[in-house]
Amino acid sequence: MIMIILQISFNFTQSEYYATTTVMLLLLTLPLAVVIVEDCKIWKSKQELINCENPPRPVDTTTKSNELKSEQTIPEGLSCWQNILRHPERGEDHTVLQAIFSLDMVILFFATVCGFGSNLTVYNNLSQIGKSLGYPSYTITTFVSLMSIWIFLGKIAQGVLSEFMITKLKLPRPLMFTIVHVLSCIGHLLIAFNVPNGLYAASIFIGFCLGASWPIINSLISELFGLKHYSTLYNVGTVASPIGSYLLNVKVAGYLYDREARRQMAALGLQRKPGEELNCSGSDCYKLAYIIITAVCLFGALVSFILVLRTRQFYKTDIYKKFTEEPRTAETKMVIPGKD
C-alpha cells in the first residue's frame, strides 16, 4: 500500500525502482527465517532424543481415540456408500461423502456460491465498472490496486472478530459469514444506483468481504467436519467460487452489460463490426445486474443464517477442547521401551 501511494505521488527513477524492488523482495523472503529457526529447533530436539539412553515413547492416544470414534460412528460391515447418511456429531471426523451429503455442507455451499459469486463479479469488473460510471482513469487504477489491501485487511479482521464472537460471546462462526454477506449487499447497491463517489466505498466493502469470506469458509469446514479429510473438503468448498463467478459474472453481469451496450449502439445508429469490443457508458450498464446480484447476495445471507441457527448449540461448547486435552494426555502417558 505504501509503495502504491508513493508511486502515484512521485516520479520514480530506474534506480529507485531497483532499490524499492530489492526492499520488497527482502520483506517477502523474511518469513523463511521463521522456517529455518523452527527446523533448527526440531533438529536439535531430535538429536537430544537420540542421545538419550532410554528415550520415552509416547502413546499415540490421538490415533487410538480417533480409531475408537471411527469404530463407534461407522458400523462394521457397512461400505462407504451405505454410511453416507450416518453422520457423526459436528466436530468429529466425517468421511468425504458424509460431509458432502450433509445438510450443513449444502447450506454452506449455496451461501458461498451467492457470496463469492457476487463479490468476484465486482472484483473482476471493477475497472470496467469505473469506466462505465465515468471515473477518471488514474482513479480507477488507484482503487483497483488498493482493493488487494482491503482483501488482506478483511482476512485479518475476520479472524480477530470471529474468534472474539466464539470465545467471549459464544456466538456461532457462521454469523460472521452472514454479516459479511450483508455488508457486501451495501457495496452492490452503491454500484447499482451510482451513488456519487460510491465506487470508492464499494471497493472497500467488497474487498473487505471478499477477503473475510475465505478464512471463514475454511474454518467452518474444519470445525464442522473434522480435520481427517480437510484437504479434500477444502477443495470441495473452493468449487463454489468458480460456479458463483460464472453464473453472476458471465450469465448476469456480462449478458446485461452487452445488452445495454448494443442498445446504446442502436440508439446512435451504429453497427457493431465483427470482433469489435462492446463498450457501455452510464449507470444503466450495471444497474439491473447489480440489483439482481444484491438480491442473490441477500439470499446467501438468509441461507447462511440457517446455518447459524443449526450450529448455535455446537458453538456454545468449547470447540477447541479436544485439541488441548489430547496432547496433554499424550504427554502424561509415557511408556518405557521393553516394559510395555
Each domain of the chain, given as residue ranges in start order, spans: 96-325
Question: Around Cβ 237, how many Cβ atoms within 10 Å?
Answer: 20
Q: Distances in Å between the alpha carbon of 180 and those of 6, 43, 107, 255, 305?
A: 31, 43, 16, 26, 11
Coil, strand, or helix at residue 334? Answer: strand
One-letter-per-residue 3-state SS of 182-213:
HHHHHHHHHHHCCCCCHHHHHHHHHHHHHHHH
Which pLDDT belongs to residue 167? Answer: 86
Q: Domain 96-325, what architecture? A: Up-down Bundle (1.20)
Q: How far apart are CA 285 and CA 283, in angstroms?
A: 5
Give residues with Cβ within 8 angstroms of 132, minimum separation 6: 257, 280, 281, 282, 285, 286
299 in helix, strand or coil?
helix
pTM comes to: 0.74
Residue 66: its pLDDT value, please?
52
Coarse DSSP helix, strand, coil percentages of the chain, rounded to the nearest 5 percent:
75, 0, 25
Give the pLDDT score at 333: 52
Output the pLDDT for position 325. 63
| Residue 75 grid cell | 458400523
**Given this model, what pLDDT does residue 55 score?**
53
- Least Cα distance to 125 among 180, 203, 186, 210 occurs for 203
Q: At what angle do helices 174-192 and 198-225 cross, to 10 degrees?
A: 160
Q: What is the dihedral of CA 220, 224, 225, 228, to 10 degrees?
A: 80
pLDDT at 58: 54
CA atoms within 13 A on the CB side of 199: 24
Average pLDDT per 10 consecutive residues for the chain, totaling 340 residues: 79 88 90 90 85 57 50 48 73 89 93 94 93 89 84 90 89 94 96 92 94 92 91 90 93 94 89 83 94 96 96 88 62 48
Query: Please, which residues have CB within 8 angstroms of residue 164's CB and are 6 or more apart in sequence?
Result: none
190's CB contacts (< 8 A; 6+ apart) are: 198, 199, 201, 202, 205
Residues 6+ apart with CB under 8 A from 24: 3
Q: How far apart are CA 67 and CA 270, in angstroms?
A: 71
> Roughly how many angstroms between the first and final C-alpha of the chain, as a whole number?
60
* pLDDT attached to residue 289: 96
